[in-house]
Amino acid sequence: MREVRMLLNRRAAARGQAYPMSAPLTAAGFAKAVREVRSWPGYAPTPLVVLPALADALGLAAIRYKDERGRFGLKSFKALGGAYAVRRVLARQNRPAAEVTVTCATDGNHGRSVAWGAQLFGCSCVIFVHATVSEGRAEAIRRYGAEVRRVKGNYDDAVRHAAGEAGRHGWYVVSDTSYEGYRDVPLDVMHGYGVMAEESMAQWPAGGAPTHIFVQAGVGALAAAICASFWLRWRKRRPRFVIVEPVRADCIYRSLEAGRPAAVHGGLETVMAGLACGEVSQLAWEVLATGADAAVAIDDAFALDAVRRLASPRGGDPAIVAGETGGAGLAALLALGERPEFRAPLALGPQAEVLLLGSEGDTDPEIYRRIVGRGAEEVLAA
């Protein structure tokens, strides 16, 4: 049987509890990022796609899928965070952008965003990728003028490598993950991600709100940004918040279980490339420790099912092009669909209006074609 585990967070804030005053993400920080990102060339809200037949098939009231494939032509939501943080790094300098180099480690999408931001705002960029990042994803980063360097080990090793090289050369690390003493930049990244939440709230039918949000997590920055945005906006009516991770890279699941950040070691192998992270970001943890209601760890097979199901919808739903990581929220819904004992404590039933964050499209078109048997254009033309 395919593996699926669920953990209810014992330390989750009670439903009526206000957003913690001490939490790092703020309404003002989100508002500032929204103002900035909206001013960029090519800005347009991504669609919130309604999937009534899928909701019906899964016994839910509604599923709405925020499709980030079209975000600034970068095919993922990451365009929001990395590029916004590059902008903020440059704004804090009193020298020309051309003299500044930004750097980061990436499993693909974050690096693409930082490289795009560096090109847009006129600074240099060096991106570190680890062993299993596909050449297609590395090439996509080079297209934005960045130098890509491949390093041994996993994502967390690449993070350490980028920090070391930055120290040696005087570069600025624009990381999406935060750790002791490194918070300002990843905080900007997370405030940038809030644009997606802001748009989703504006696109939701008037007077309503999601009852549940499923968000896939690598280091947890995306999840924490979405969680904080909705908590700040909806306060007591905040949606139930479920973290989704691959079974072998379930660092937030394990952290919630332990009540403190807990690392996962090893290869972290998963087809959900964007989620292959073994350590939760410190800032993300400060929100998710009480903001997450549950965590679900799923087998890769569910992620592949989700990609195919979105590509070949039944019952008149529109087709959606989602990468293996982008479809992970739906993958968790499919996994829970087979396990009523997990759905009940989440109140995931006929009243549930679920928001899924379709965080990426076909960020590697070759991999996408292998999974679906067709390319994105064919899927959308069908």
The catalytically annotated residue of 66, 67, 75, 78 is: 78
- Contact at 8 Å (CB) between 248 and 264? yes
- Kindly state whether residue 220 participates in binding ligand PLP, applying the rule CB under 6 A: yes
Q: At 381, is the secondary structure helix, strand, or coil?
A: helix
- Contact at 8 Å (CB) between 302 and 334? yes
Build a one-symbol-per-residue string for 87-116: x at contacts with ligand PLP by CB under 6 A, - elsewhere.
Answer: --------------------x-xx------
- Kindly state whether residue 78 participates in binding ligand PLP, applying the rule CB under 6 A: yes
Q: Which stretch binds ligand PLP (CB under 6 A): 113-121, 161-169, 221-229, 314-322?
A: 221-229
The CB density around residue 143, as the number of other CB atoms within 10 Å, is 11
- Kindly state whether residue 223 participates in binding ligand PLP, applying the rule CB under 6 A: yes
Shortest approach of ligand PLP to residue 3 CB, angstroms? Answer: 20
- Kindly state whether residue 307 participates in binding ligand PLP, applying the rule CB under 6 A: no
- Kindly state whether residue 176 participates in binding ligand PLP, applying the rule CB under 6 A: yes
Shortest approach of ligand PLP to residue 95 CB, angstroms? Answer: 30
d(CA 275, CA 246): 7
- Kindly state whether residue 360 participates in binding ligand PLP, applying the rule CB under 6 A: yes
Instruction: Using the minimum distance from each CB to ligand PLP, give the nearer residue, 100 or 299.
Output: 299
Distances (CA, A) of 372 to 74, 257, 303, 309: 21, 35, 12, 9
- Kindly state whether residue 191 participates in binding ligand PLP, applying the rule CB under 6 A: no
**Chain length of the chain:** 382
**Phi, psi values for residue 347, rounded to 5°:** 55, 40
- The pair of three-digit structure tokens given for residue 242, joined into one six-digit string: 């479920």
The catalytically annotated residue of 66, 75, 107, 305 is: 107
d(CA 18, CA 198): 19
**DSSP letter for each residue of 9-57:** -TTPPPTTPPPPTT-S--HHHHHHHHHHHHTSTT--PPPEEE-HHHHHH
Instruction: Using the minimum distance from each CB to ligand PLP, give the nearer residue, 176 or 286.
Output: 176
Shortest approach of ligand PLP to residue 257 CB, angstroms? Answer: 18
- Kindly state whether residue 154 participates in binding ligand PLP, applying the rule CB under 6 A: no
* Binding residues with ligand PLP: total (CB under 6 A): 21
195: left (phi over 0), alpha (psi -120 to 50) or beta: alpha
| Subset of 198-217 contacting ligand PLP (CB under 6 A) | 216-217
The CB density around residue 57, as the number of other CB atoms within 10 Å, is 17
- Kindly state whether residue 138 participates in binding ligand PLP, applying the rule CB under 6 A: no
Q: Which stretch binds ligand PLP (CB under 6 A): 119-127, 218-226, 253-261, 302-310?
A: 218-226
- Check if 66 is active-site: no
Amino acid at 285: W
Shortest approach of ligand PLP to residue 358 CB, angstroms? Answer: 9
Q: What is the 3-state secondary structure (H, E, C) of 157-189?
A: HHHHHHHHHHHHHCCEECCCCCECCECHHHHHH
Instruction: Using the minimum distance from each CB to ligand PLP, give the nearer residue, 68 or 317.
Output: 68
Can you tell me which of 218, 261, 278, 291 binds ligand PLP, judged by CB under 6 A?
218
- Check if 32 is active-site: no
Can you tell me which of 82, 210, 291, 326 binds ligand PLP, judged by CB under 6 A?
326
Binding site for ligand PLP (CB under 6 A): 76, 78, 107, 109-110, 176, 216-223, 274-275, 277, 325-326, 359-360
Catalytic residue list: 78, 107
